[in-house]
Amino acid sequence: MWNRPRFDLKVRLTLRVAAISAACFAAISAYFLVTADRAAHARIDGIAAIVAKTLELQQGKIQWVASPRSDFPNLDPVSAYVMTPGLCLAFRGTSGDMLQRFCSGAPSPADLPPQAFAAFYRGMFDPGREAARPVVVRGAKLGDVVVSVDPAVQTAEAWHEAGRLMIALAIALPLLCALVYAVLARALRPTRMIRNGLERIAANDLSARLPPFDLAELSAIRDVFNHLAESLDTALAERAELTRKLIALQDEERRHLARELHDEFGQSLAAIRALASSARTTAAQECPSLLSECDGIARTATGMMEMLRGTLFRLRPPDVEELGLVASLEGLVAGWNGRSRGETRFSIRFDGAFETLPAAISDNLYRIVQEALTNAAKHAGATRVSLELAMRAGEIALAIDDDGRSNDPAAKSGMGLLGMRERVAALRGQLSFETGSNGGSALRVVIPISTADPPVLERAA
């Protein structure tokens, strides 16, 4: 998917202001150029009218002439008053021939405009256009007065006018951009607070709140943000409380099931073993051929009792409140090492003091470790499982690494991982389950101590 380049809002707005300002300067420059072109054409039209009127007076002997025997037309008297650099005066007879022509000097090379501007100006305007006025005496047309300006001179004058605007643009535009950027940076400074608040919300820090802002738009965002944060915090707190109650009910159901299995199923297995022993004694005296069957019944009952002890241990582990979290976890790891018979090696390391942990945190941590070890040993087929429990500033970090099958779907989406997520969510913590750097799986759990201490739930008798 094609991604459009991202620009800072201040830069984007500054560029837009600069573009609008440049367009305004360009429009003003174009207005000056059009005005200057019209003024130049009006000037040569006026000069043509004056020269034509002067020649009419010459011919009619109404106005003075330079010499009594002066030949017509005589442009010398009027040229001294109207001639400017680049201006050309000419008289064209009725036959079309130029009878007299005066032109001033061309501009110096230092005054010539850049070629790009000269080409642009000649393309947009007509700097070499001539202005012609007829000379009529007593109803007879004697010829035309032709006035024109050297295109290079007119282009240089236009460049001189536009050049001052361009210099002003070159100076004012960077200053304007810097000023606009500074103003926008100050006005958009609250957006950093909004971004930081959103990042804190994304990091599950629902205590983030935005301060009041001067701008009405940002104040509206602040009100919505704070309301959303409060609503989300309330919803998660209610969800965590409900999860804690469900977990408490689940643990109580496990304890009830463990008591039922111990009292009913355990007693039945003990009775079977006693009957098997009694039957073996009788068979030894009356029917020795049944000894092997009696021994088989006893071995089966013994194996079922061992399985029952393991199940009871998982359903109702030793009381963490009495033994402590460290001793309970060490016993759990030792039990797994004993049952795996060397196929999977479990190790655990502690960093910090865990004697003062609340009971709810200790119980849930024990259950999380219990589920994680079960997943690593049974589903992932790991041969090495390492645990590390560390106490940090204001939080507890649990790290469990194994070398098992990291792509096993049962390990990633099973009920065990779901139960761990529920327990971590109930403690307002964070859980991540990813592939380890050297293969296998890496489980990370972080539980804040300050906010993870939930109200103590009464256990059912």
Structural domains in the chain, CATH included, are 9-186 (3.30.450), 320-461 (3.30.565.10)
How confident is the prediction along the chain (461 residues), in pLDDT tens digits per residue? Answer: 444 556 677 788 888 888 888 888 778 878 878 888 888 888 888 888 888 887 777 776 544 444 454 566 777 777 777 777 778 888 888 777 777 777 776 655 556 777 877 788 787 887 777 888 888 877 778 888 888 888 888 888 777 777 777 777 778 888 888 888 888 888 778 888 888 888 888 877 778 888 888 778 888 888 888 888 888 888 877 877 787 777 778 777 877 787 777 777 777 878 887 888 888 788 777 777 777 888 888 888 888 888 877 777 666 666 676 778 888 888 888 888 887 777 788 888 988 888 788 877 888 888 888 888 888 877 667 788 889 999 887 888 999 888 877 655 555 555 577 778 888 888 888 888 887 666 778 888 998 886 444 433 333 32
Q: Other CB atoms closer than 10 Å to residue 133's CB: what's the count?
A: 19
CA–CA dist 274, 294 (Å, integer): 11
Residue pair 288/267 in contact by the 8 Å Cβ criterion: no
CA distances (Å), origin 123, targets 27, 86, 335, 451 = 17, 20, 95, 76
CA–CA dist 386, 56 (Å, integer): 117
CA–CA dist 27, 30 (Å, integer): 5
Q: To the nearest 5 percent, what fractions of the chain are helix, strand and coil?
A: 60, 15, 25
Residue 432: helix, strand or coil by DSSP?
Answer: strand
**E strand segments, 255-394:** 345-351, 384-392
What is the pTM for the complete model shown? 0.47
